[in-house]
Structure formats: C-alpha cells, structure tokens
Amino acid sequence: MPASRSVVIGVDSSTQSTKAAAVDADTGALLAVGRAPHTVTGTAGARESDPEEWWTALVTAVRSAVRDADVSAASVTGIAVAGQQHGLVTLGAGGRPLRPALLWNDTRSAPQAAALAARLGGPEAWAARTGSVPVASMTAAKWQWLREHEPERADAATGVRLPHDHLTERLSGTAVTDPGDASGTCWYGTATGAYDREVLDLLGLDPALLPALAPTGATRAGTLAPAAAEALGLPRTVAVAAGTGDNMAAAVGLGLGGAGLLDHPVVSLGTSGTVFAATRVRPAAPGLAGFAATDGVGTYLPLGCTLNCTLAVDRFAALLGLDREDAVPGGGDGGGVVVLPYLDGERTPDLPHAAGLVTGLRHGTDPRAVLGAAYEGAAFTVLRALGELLAACGLDPAAPDVRDRPLRLIGGGARGRFWTDTVRRLSGRPLVVPAAGELVALGAAALAAGAATGSDPVALATAWGAGAGEVLPALPRDEETWDRIAGVLTAATPTLLS
C-alpha cells in the first residue's frame, strides 16, 4: 500500500464480541477484520459483562486487523468505537469499573423503569423531552436499579459511562460521548441537545459523573493516550473520534443521515431485532426510542427494538435438534403453529416478564414448522414495530410511495436464506441486502475518517458505497400468517405474556 494512503479503524464492540475493521480511508475498501469474543453472564433476567474484557478484546481485534491488512502502523490515522447501546458502566478510582456492566438486555430494572415512567408527567412527557420512555433496557432504569440494589457502588461511582464512552476514554483519556448514544440513556434531552437536569435530579445522578457531549460522533476527542498507543502498537498521533452507539454507526455505514438518505427504513436482524430510519422529524412516540443521529445536523434516528431475534431462533433450532436453515413456514398441515420467541422477555411490545410461547401444535406437526414459526414470530415482532416507526417519521406505511421503498436488511440474519424469505413474505416489500458485512464497523470507520480529516462521515460512507447491495423484489404479503400471529399476541398479552 502506498505510504501516502491512510487507514482508519472502525471498532464494533457488540454484546457478544469485538470486531475491528481496517478500512482504506480514501476508497472505503475493507482491508481486514480482527475479532475477539466477549463473555456475557447472568440468569433470571441478569445480563452482565466485564468492561475490562471489552478493552482486552478491542486491543486483540485492532492488532489483528492491522496485521492482517498488511499495513504499517504509521498509516493508521484514525479510530472510532461504536458500542452496544444502553449499557451501564460505573467507574471508580483510576477510571476502572467498579462492577460488571449492566447490559441493554438485562431486564432486572423493569420495576425501576415502570416507576420512572410514571414520574415527570408520564410516558408522553418522557417521550417529548428525552425521545424515549424508560423501559428496562434504558440506562436510566439501570442506574436506578443500581441505586436501590447496590447503593454502596452507586455512591462510590466517580464516573458513569456507556460502553462506547468507556472504550473511547480508554483510547483517548477524554471522557466524551455523542448525541446518538447519549439519547439512549433517558437523561439526554433530544429537544435541547443537553443532559436533562430535572431527570438527573430525579435519578440522584450528579452531572459531573457524566462525559462531555461532543457535537457529533466524528468529533475529534483527541489522539491516542500513551498507554493505549502502546497497547495497540499504533502512533500517538492517531485521531480518536467521539464514537457512537452501534445502531447510529450502522446508519452512517448505510449512508443514512443529513448528507445521505432520509426516511428510508432499515431492518437489522441480530441478537436483537431493530428497525430505524434517519429523519428530520423529532419523533415522540412512547413505543419507540426517539434517538438522535450521530451526524449532528438536526437528524434523528427513531428506532424500534425487540429483544428476541436471531439468538432466540437459534435456541429453538437447538431445542428441536435442527440446523437453523432446516425450517419451513409454520402454517402448514398442523393447523398453523405460532411461536412468540420471547425468551428474554420483550421490549417491543413492552413485556419484560414474558417467556416464549408456542401454540397450535398437533401430533403431526413437523418440527421444521415449529422452527419456521419461531422465525415468523421474531420477524413479525420486528416488522410490527416498523409501522410505528414510519408513522413516527410522519409517513403513511400504506401509501404506495412508502410501501414500495425498499427495506435495507442488515445484521447476521440478513445472511440467512430463511430469514430473508420470511421478511420478504411478511413485509410484502422489496429488500436491499447490502454487500458489506460489517456495517457497524464501517460506520465507525467513517467516523474515524471524519475525526482525522474533518469530513462529514455520512458523505464519506455514501462515497464508499458501503450500503449498496442486492435488490430483492417484493413478494405478496402473507396476510394469513400475519393475522394469525397478531391474534395470538393480542389474546396472550393480558394473561400469558404479562
């Protein structure tokens, strides 16, 4: 590689692993990806990880990416972290974690979320001021849980961070966050672009414990701190971006934002299922997370999130002794199997205490149909949130110009044939499946390039073409399966799922 060409590193620190992408800053070419796993622990609703393991994984993944890209350390000009959203990291002396982080899918804080949601004027008021209503996944609820269950640790905290904040601080020595990830806390005001002091007072959270707010995720937080540079084997001159949450980075990687596409919906199939779109409308819908985008130009990223997606379906495959692709549609000769795979409770709809539900079984039911029904139940739950998302953006989901807008299908599930077929069948919409497989890391790389050069990260990612891919035409919408699942969800919610 010519010495004049710069390389940027985009880090995707997710629930299960860290991936670091080495990217040519000029062309967006993905040169190499380094990987390292995380450990998630907990039962009965608890989900925790050690932030020190995230840092170790980041170092391992970055070193691997630079090595496998066969580039010199001197060619690396920027780095940015995109992290799993909502997690609560509490720091003590020396900036090290006091305890394992409470992850986004830890549902123990559901009672605290419900109590908070009833305050400050109720759910509508929360949505109007912070963009979101407290639910178990939100950081504010987790902090309140910590205050009630481990008050000595809450009192001892010298810093409160989100996962990406913590890693950015380890890289740069600067405590900084961005509007996108901050908007997932329920203590950041999307209407004001600042921390909400009344919410912080309600939570007993000293604003001095929080990181500074950067204007965008591509804002230069500084350069590599000496210890980080040594650990990564990179020059101290490498620019460190403020970074953002994983969903915001995926949007950047897809070219969604003020300098790119607006009001184009995305469906992400991963451990969680999400739907989101970049829009100029500041939504205030209680059923959605009204996030800010990370490009800092008055763009928002409303998002609907389900807790149970690919991991839950894989669990059904394991229980049935099947490969994940050994599925058939669930409404076959058995009379119509319905699976609501809410193994971790559910966030959308807000059913934190739900468990998985299977109905419609007969003696002759094919196990493959049960697996197919698990796919359908997970996809239905995500697509049900899509209608709410489009309405929150001021769009009519049934209008032809909106209905015919392709869904951009991303995440691990987008690589699965049955996942793709199920989304096409239940949505009745055309799909775009981007060719790039590491959109969160690529989006983070665009933020890193923005920090190094001052360029708009959405414009960069658009020029790179990271969001381009195969277009799959629409299939007729499977109304029968949709209505069958909707009927079971409605009937079960007041009793079996609550």
Helix (H, G, I), strand (E, B) or coil at 149: helix
Tell me the per-residue pLDDT of 46-93, one tens digit each, with 9 for 90 and over. Answer: 999 999 999 999 999 999 999 999 999 999 999 999 999 999 999 998
Tell me the per-residue pLDDT of 277-313, one tens digit each, with 9 for 90 and over. Answer: 999 999 878 788 899 999 987 899 999 989 899 999 9
What mean pLDDT, rounded, does the chain reach? Answer: 94
Secondary structure (DSSP) of 84-147: -SS-BEEE-GGG-BSSPEEPTT--TTHHHHHHHHTSTT-HHHHHHHHSS---TTSHHHHHHHHH
* Predicted pLDDT at 1: 45
* Predicted pLDDT at 333: 52
For residues 284 and 302, the answer to whether their CB atoms sit within 8 Å is: no
Tell me the per-residue pLDDT of 380-392, one tens digit each, with 9 for 90 and over. Answer: 999 999 988 998 8
Per-residue pLDDT for 244 more than 80? yes
Q: Taking the mean position of all CA atoms in its chain, how far away is CA 406? A: 21
CA dihedral 386, 388, 393, 396 (to 10 degrees): 90
Tell me the per-residue pLDDT of 457-487, one tens digit each, with 9 for 90 and over. Answer: 999 999 999 889 999 999 999 999 999 999 9
Phi-psi region of 454 (alpha: psi -120 to 50; beta: other; left: phi over 0): left
Per-residue pLDDT for 30 more than 60? yes
CA dihedral 122, 123, 127, 132 (to 10 degrees): 130
Give the pTM.
0.89
Structure tokens given for 97: 């974690």
Instruction: Note the maximum CA span of the chain.
Output: 68
Active-site amino acid positions: 246
| 228 to 169, 233, 240, 447, 479: CA distances (angstroms) | 10, 8, 11, 19, 54
Residue 334's pLDDT band, with cuts at 50, 70 and 90, is very low
Structure tokens given for 38: 């995380």
Give the mean model confidence (pLDDT) for residues 213-237: 98
